[in-house]
Amino acid sequence: MKKVLVMGLVLVGFLSANAQESSDKSSVATPSPGVDAGKPSKEQRKAMHEALSDEKSGVQSACSEEAKASNCGDKVVGKGLLKCIHEHRKASKEFKLSDGCKSAMKNLRDEKKKIKK
């Protein structure tokens, strides 16, 4: 009988300790909605956007021959050019991207990854 009482007391003590820990966690200070938690400032976003637009114009100029060859000449980067070129590349095994176009696309991808971080 003593063992049952001791086990019951241990169980009650354990449950009350867990209840206290969970109530402590809810009182941890959380940032208020008005505080920017790791968001870039307006100037930083503007600089990132300019860097991205520079990369897009680089891809546009470097891949102009590929765009003409794949009948995507009227499209621009950000509005379907890369998708059109990739679709043409999948459909035509002989279609190859130039080294300049490949490196411009890689630079654009890298710049987008920097912005997402």
| pLDDT one-digit tens code per residue, 14-35 | 566 555 555 544 444 454 555 4
Judge whether 46 lies within some domain.
yes
Judge whether 14 lies within some domain.
no
Domain residues for the domain of 74 are 41-117
Within 8 A by CB and 6+ apart from 42, the residues are none
Gap between the Cα atoms of 69 and 59, Å rounded: 15
- Condensed to tens digits (0 to 9), the pLDDT of residues 35-49 reads 455 677 888 888 888
Judge whether 115 lies within some domain.
yes
Tally of structural domains, the chain:
1
Question: What average pLDDT does this structure show over 84-92?
Answer: 91
